[in-house]
Amino acid sequence: NGSVTVSVSFFVPKTHSPYQWYGQEDVEEIHRKQRYLKSLINNRNISYHYHDGYTGYMEAAFARGDRRLSKVLVEAWKAGCKFDGWTEFFNYEAWL
């Protein structure tokens, strides 16, 4: 028996790219699509991995932000955000 890994990322617009002016889907829509894709997989030999919609939202904010965003970064660090690049440590509420 073989196994298959399905890994899904959603579009995050980045500056200085041909897609910089394209919009990003909202987090709720990303989560809806993630649930739908996961519901299609009913074989235990297929594993499904995805990036949370909130981390993509933060990625877009930092990709498009400027030096003023450093204040947000410092406040998040003070609130305990240290390893938020890792899914198991990411706390979206601390960034608000």
User: Mean pLDDT over residues 87-92, rounded?
Assistant: 81
3 — pLDDT class (breaks 50, 70, 90): very high
Q: How many alpha carbons fall within 13 Å on the CB side of residue 5?
A: 3
Residue 80's SS3 state is coil
User: Mean pLDDT over residues 15-37, rounded?
Assistant: 92
Q: How do residues 39-65 score in pLDDT, each as one tens digit?
A: 999 999 999 998 888 888 888 888 888
pLDDT above 90 (res 76) = no
Q: Which residue has the higher pLDDT, 78 or 96?
A: 78
Taking the C-alpha atoms of residue 31 and residue 90, their distance in angstroms, rounded to an integer, is 16
